[in-house]
Amino acid sequence: MRAVLFAAPAALAVALSACASGMGESRYETELQRLNADCQARGGILSPTGRQSGQPALDNVCKVTGQASTRTGG
């Protein structure tokens, strides 16, 4: 009987932790997509830095592929 009382909360904890990790991945993916869109709008490409911090802004860098023009026609 005691084993059943202990196993039920343990199973619930495992189930909740699985749900929490899924939410974290979703948040990471959303932030990564936003960073990618911002980078592409500036004419760049999002590239991994090799770091795995769990924060897309630290794990990726925007590499601008075109050259910036400082001339203003004239």
Give the count of domains, the chain: 1
CA–CA dist 53, 30 (Å, integer): 16
Is 18 part of a structural domain of the chain? no
Domain holding 59, by residue range, is 28-65
Is 4 part of a structural domain of the chain? no
Residue 23 near residue 32, CB atoms below 8 Å: no
Whole-prediction pTM: 0.55
Measured CA distances, 20 to 14, 24, 27, 53 (Å): 10, 6, 11, 18
Residue 54 near residue 28, CB atoms below 8 Å: yes
Q: Is 44 exposed, middle or buried (0-12, 13-18, 19+ CB in 10 A)?
A: middle
Is 53 part of a structural domain of the chain? yes
8-55 pLDDT tens trace:
555 555 555 555 555 556 999 999 999 999 999 999 999 999 999 999
pLDDT of residue 1: 52
